[in-house]
Amino acid sequence: MKDKKLPVHVAVIMDGNGRWAKKRNLPRIFGHREGAKSVRAVTEAAAEAGIKYLTLYAFSTENWKRPEKEVDFLMGLLENHLKTELPVMMKNNVRLHTIGNILALPERVQKKLKIVKRKTSSNTGLNLVLALNYGARDEITAAVRKIAFNAKKGLINPCKIGHEDISRQLYTADIPDPDLLIRTSGEMRISNFLLWQIAYSELYVTKVLWPDFRKKEFLKALREFSRRERRFGGI
């Protein structure tokens, strides 16, 4: 990939764990377990390729609607994944970030996230961003509220509010917008993910289910990106 035009920031909607398990007549949790292996594979591939930011849609605000047992399993899987993957992140110079309402997650998960973020804070390679309890509409709504409060206090002129003012109030204030958005499993929708930030992102949809999406498939998406011409509305 050294001779290819690479994205700075890749965002991924990881979809298809349940269907992967169903195709094999297995409970959904087996799909989630296998999907966790893809997280490691894609993270390592992104680090090796020199990608600066990788954002993974790990748990949405809508995912709380799933059966309680499945949600509990996902929280436990996340906690365990953070524990086992910390040495891998240190080895690959990966720094962990999160976006979303983290305070609504179980306390044990919050503690583990804080530990891993602190221990990886000096790493200078790939920035791995986990979107947890994340919903783009909630994010934008919260940003609008902050701007409205500032306007009410006279700290900002409503007539001069611009794109940057909104961007600065989002979870991703210090993160560049995604250049490439990948969605696995073939579904043609955004699912309330980074709605503001992906305004000019290149979209790549594959029918490959997330548990089968490993390094080869990730590099395929990068190669497809390298062939595209980005005009940002120009000629």
Q: Which residues are the active-site residues? A: 15, 63
Show Cβ contacts of residue 131 under 8 Å, excluding neighbours closer than 6 positions: 55, 56, 57, 58, 59, 60, 98, 99, 100, 193, 194
Q: Which of 74, 60, 57 is nearest to 14 (CA)?
A: 57
Strand order in the sheet with 53-60: 95-99, 127-134, 53-60, 9-13, 180-183, 202-205
Show Cβ contacts of residue 211 under 8 Å, excluding neighbours closer than 6 positions: 16, 17, 20, 31, 34, 35, 37, 38
Which long-range contacts does 79-87 make (Cβ < 8 Å, 24+ apart)? 79/106, 79/108, 79/109, 79/112, 81/36, 81/39, 82/112, 82/113, 82/115, 82/116, 83/112, 85/39, 85/40, 85/43, 86/116, 86/119, 86/120
